[in-house]
Structure 1
Amino acid sequence: MDVDKHAEELASALGVDKTEVKADLENLLEYSVPIDEAKQSVRRKHDGGGGGSSPTPESVDLDEITTDHGNVTVTARVLSVGTRTIRYQGDDITIREGELADPTGTISYTAWRDFGFEPGDSVTIGNAGVREWEDAPELNLGDSTTVAMADEPVETDEPIGGDRSLIDLEPGDRGRNIEVRVLEVDSKTISGRDGETPILEGVVGDSTARLPFTDWQPRSEIEEGADLRIEDVYVREFRGVPSINLTEFSAVQPLSDPVAVNDDAPRLSIAEAVDAGGMFDVELVGTVLDVRDGSGFIERCPECGRVLQSGQCRSHGEVDGEDDLRTKAILDDGTATVTAILDRELTAEIYGGGIEAAREAARDAMDREVVAEAIAEELVGRSFRVRGSLSVDDYGANLDASAFEPATEDPAAVASDVLSDLREPAAATDGGADAASRGGER
């Protein structure tokens, strides 16, 4: 996109300095505001909205919208409405965001002012901008957008409102409501955009899953063991898994009935877990093929905690390292592989001793690698059940283990059973289709 050209055209039409116009455009584009909407905003800023108004775009179905559209008009059902505050050009701005649906599909939206619609309303939205968000088109409702109640209700099979189970939450969700039990909670202070900021972090659970959360406006109701209904949260990805975020607009209400929490993590084949793109709590069974470099008796940077290489931290240079124990075991179940990362406590259980024992062994052998070799002898070729948080990125799949114990079952058989369970619904559907086809032939 040639921002310079757009800025020059606007500056010429408005009779103002091009540098100022370009800076205004770049600020808006940085937040993914569509170029047409950005130009209208800059035009309003400098001449109060002169330059005429754009004709109302042609109405389209939601499944027709792509990021190539500039502006569109849609008639849709409001599925959810969430509210939060963002910092934009130094100012705090309250936005509304959520999902819309029509018979053809769904789309997310961000509204830069309150248009007054609620979940369940059928609305016609005119002159909405289109931008890309989470690799998909999203509607951008600004000052030039019009919203009116539709003449007839818009039919959709999508659920109205934001109620979801934890297993159904995905990064990018906004305006969601959950009913959960607080399993862990910790109060801490971080360096935020307004200086030192107190927050709450922890884990919540329901009958379907467990997920991490952050409360940016610490509430007294959020305490370990509390059963709560939390309305208007948004979800973003943190370390490869969905993370729940509470804002000043989130509502927290104690529940009279306890929330059932599943103590067991879902057991998946490694391939299925990796294909999911990351899970906060999952159980895998596999055979350890190897123990990777960087395992055993290691040194960490006292400043950032990174593992040192030859006494060097990649961020802080040469430092006096702090001793630690870690294991990075390659786990395979016949469908895929994952690196299980075991912390100091789990590694000490496998090694049969803590840091002092490892230090003594390394000193006697004059080689720190003897610890990793001893760990490899205990693990390689044996099957284990591992539970923890799985993250997947361009460098592979890593499972930060919270539990690690010998498995009594065969990993390949476990993976086969899991995959068979997944195939059964499809097979039943295919079988029904085949039977119908054969019936038609008769």
Structure 2
Amino acid sequence: MDIDQRAEALASDLGADKEEVRADLQNLLEYDVPVDEAVQSLRRKYGGGGGGGSTPSAKAVGEVTTEDASVTVTARVLTVGKRTIRYQGDDFTIFEGELADDSATISYTAWNDFDLEPGATVTVGNAGVREWEGEPELNLGDSTDVTVEGETLEVPYEVGGEAALDDLSPGDRGVTVEVVVAEVESRTIDGRDGPTDILSGVLADETARLPFTDWNPHPDLTEGASLRLADCYVREFRGVPSVNLSEFTTVTPLERTVEVSDSAPREAIGPAVAAGGAYDIELVGSLLDVRDGSGLIQRCPECNRVIQNGQCRSHGQVDGEDDLRVKAILDDGTGTVTVVLDHDLTAAVYGGTLEDALEHARDAMDKEVVAATIAERVVGDEYRVRGVLSVDEYGANLDASEFERVEESAEDRARALLSEVRA
């Protein structure tokens, strides 16, 4: 049913003017209000009931479900973020973050500026409810009333969005971090308004390292700078949190230098995979096998993907570029992961350059001899591997930045593993 048909049916049911109902419905849909919620909102506006009457029920935050059309909650504002989104060709400035009472937290999106401030206690009346990543989220729009309460509601949650990198999760909004810019590069991408300059790289603090993207390049984001980044939002990138900066993010140089650990947290493979990935992690285990697609490979010169028989899945027949890679299975008794070594790490394991590997394959008249040589050198030994762990429907992969044979005793390794599993 299109918007005209829905507006006509709704106007008929409510005894209201069709054009007026259509204009109101179109306005709500343009603000990304789900259609069922928009219909309920108009029923309330025109006195047509539905969804439990014209007055939304007052609920504790923990009682709100995706089955609710609209609710009234009294809660503490934990965070307030601000950014611009594009919807149906138009730009909208939205406000988003988290609210909480003593029962739970809930995320919100406000399509109007309600002057929300972190720490304020507010009663949010007639807030729409939608499902966001499987959880209820409040939508604050034209029909929502926000009243600031005089008495502060005590909640068992931190106010203000201050967080360490290892506390961040995809979906967080309005967060503030103090970090070092570990890596940064300027890139031009094909953005929504054509070629767009952005910054991307890696942020670090005492707890973790995470990737970032600055969609409105801030000049203070230089390598090695210690900065306070206020009003960031977090997305998922390859299964791990990614910090995003917008035009509303405030970047302030710090007088102190943020300390950064040179080591990555060591975890058992099973729990690490179950957690869904990590940007910087260390795993230790036995290398059981070197998989097909290792040794001498060819990549597409356009997209850098590995190709088979000169065929790229995206670009068809191409002249492949020679490269080295290892894909190996690491096991520590709690789980397995596919470790991927890049050109440099593979060359170190192989003990020769790409040119050496090509000559080796020509002499043997078999390119598989390179992978076989690597397997002879690594299979059966214990390795410490550091890198980016990603988990998806195809399995768990660790893109390695460090790959070292373990020299510690088996007894020490077993004791460390048991300690990590029990923790």
TM-score normalised by length of structure 2? 0.92
Give the unaligned 5+ runs of structure 2: none
Amino acid at match of 1:318: Q
Task: Decide whether the 8 Å contact of 1:334 with 1:411 is kept in 2.
Answer: no
Pairing of 1:21-36 with structure 2 (within 5 A): 24=26, 28=30, 31=32, 33-36=33-36
Task: Decide whether the 8 Å contact of 1:3 with 1:26 is kept in 2.
Answer: no
Amino acid at match of 1:34: P
Task: Decide whether the 8 Å contact of 1:202 with 1:212 is kept in 2.
Answer: yes
- Tell me, what secondary structure is at the counterpart of 1:38? helix
| Residue equivalent to 1:319 | 318
Bigger shift: residues 412-421 or 127-136? 412-421
| Residue equivalent to 2:67 | 68
1:51 matched to 2:46? The reply is: yes
Report the CA distance shift for 1:115/1:25 in structure 2 as closer, same or farther (over 3 A).
closer
Q: CA deviation at 1:165?
A: 0.3
Task: Decide whether the 8 Å contact of 1:115 with 1:147 is kept in 2.
Answer: yes
Report the CA distance shift for 1:411/1:175 in structure 2 as closer, same or farther (over 3 A).
farther
- Could you tell me how far apart the structure 1 residues matched to 2:270 and 2:85 are? 38
- Tell me, what secondary structure is at the counterpart of 2:246? strand
Task: Decide whether the 8 Å contact of 2:37 with 2:129 is kept in 1.
Answer: no
| Residue equivalent to 1:423 | 422
Q: For each residue in 1:253-293, what CA deviation from the matched residue of structure 2 results, as whole angstroms up to 9, or x when unmatched?
A: 11111111111100111112112211000001111110111
Amino acid at match of 2:241: P
- Tell me, what secondary structure is at the counterpart of 2:57? coil
Task: Decide whether the 8 Å contact of 1:334 with 1:415 is kept in 2.
Answer: no
CA RMSD of aligned residues (A): 2.7
Amino acid at match of 2:275: A
Report the CA distance shift for 1:124/1:26 in structure 2 as closer, same or farther (over 3 A).
closer
- Could you tell me how far apart the structure 1 residues matched to 2:400 and 2:59 are? 48
| Residue equivalent to 2:234 | 235
Amino acid at match of 1:38: A
TM-score normalised by length of structure 1? 0.88
Task: Decide whether the 8 Å contact of 1:229 with 1:252 is kept in 2.
Answer: yes
Q: CA deviation at 1:358?
A: 1.3
| Residue equivalent to 2:373 | 374
Aligned residues: 416
- Tell me, what secondary structure is at the counterpart of 1:350? helix
Q: For each residue in 1:28-73, what CA deviation from the matched residue of structure 2 results, as whole angstroms up to 9, or x when unmatched?
A: 59x5x233443378x69xxxx9734862211001111111111000
- Tell me, what secondary structure is at the counterpart of 1:248? coil
- Could you tell me how far apart the structure 2 residues matched to 1:103 and 1:267 are? 35
Give the unaligned 5+ runs of structure 1: 425-442
| Residue equivalent to 2:151 | 152
- Could you tell me how far apart the structure 1 residues matched to 2:272 and 2:410 are? 14
Report the CA distance shift for 1:357/1:107 in structure 2 as closer, same or farther (over 3 A).
same
| Residue equivalent to 2:90 | 91
Task: Decide whether the 8 Å contact of 2:8 with 2:18 is kept in 1.
Answer: no
- Could you tell me how far apart the structure 2 residues matched to 1:404 and 1:329 are? 12
- Could you tell me how far apart the structure 2 residues matched to 1:333 and 1:176 are? 36
| Residue equivalent to 2:224 | 225
Amino acid at match of 2:314: S
1:80 matched to 2:75? The reply is: no
1:10 matched to 2:6? The reply is: no
- Could you tell me how far apart the structure 2 residues matched to 1:63 and 1:26 are? 26
Q: CA deviation at 1:416?
A: 5.4
1:245 matched to 2:244? The reply is: yes
Report the CA distance shift for 1:362/1:266 in structure 2 as closer, same or farther (over 3 A).
same
- Could you tell me how far apart the structure 2 residues matched to 1:72 and 1:414 are? 54
Bigger shift: residues 8-17 or 155-164? 8-17
| Residue equivalent to 2:39 | 39
Report the CA distance shift for 1:418/1:288 in structure 2 as closer, same or farther (over 3 A).
closer
Pairing of 1:7-406 with structure 2 (within 5 A): 7=7, 9-10=9-10, 12=12, 14-15=17-18, 24=26, 28=30, 31=32, 33-39=33-39, 51-52=46-47, 55-406=54-405
Identity in percent: 61
Q: For each residue in 1:61-113, what CA deviation from the matched residue of structure 2 results, as whole angstroms up to 9, or x when unmatched?
A: 11111111110000000000000000012111100000011010110000001
- Could you tell me how far apart the structure 1 residues matched to 2:66 and 2:8 are? 25
- Tell me, what secondary structure is at the counterpart of 2:187? strand
- Could you tell me how far apart the structure 2 residues matched to 1:419 and 1:56 are? 56
Amino acid at match of 2:46: G
Task: Decide whether the 8 Å contact of 1:34 with 1:70 is kept in 2.
Answer: no
- Tell me, what secondary structure is at the counterpart of 1:249? coil
Amino acid at match of 1:51: Y
Report the CA distance shift for 1:316/1:294 in structure 2 as closer, same or farther (over 3 A).
same
| Residue equivalent to 1:435 | none
- Tell me, what secondary structure is at the counterpart of 1:127? strand
Report the CA distance shift for 1:191/1:377 in structure 2 as closer, same or farther (over 3 A).
same
| Residue equivalent to 1:428 | none
Q: For each residue in 1:217-252, what CA deviation from the matched residue of structure 2 results, as whole angstroms up to 9, or x when unmatched?
A: 111111111111110000000111110000000001
Bigger shift: residues 65-74 or 362-371? 362-371
Task: Decide whether the 8 Å contact of 1:269 with 1:414 is kept in 2.
Answer: no
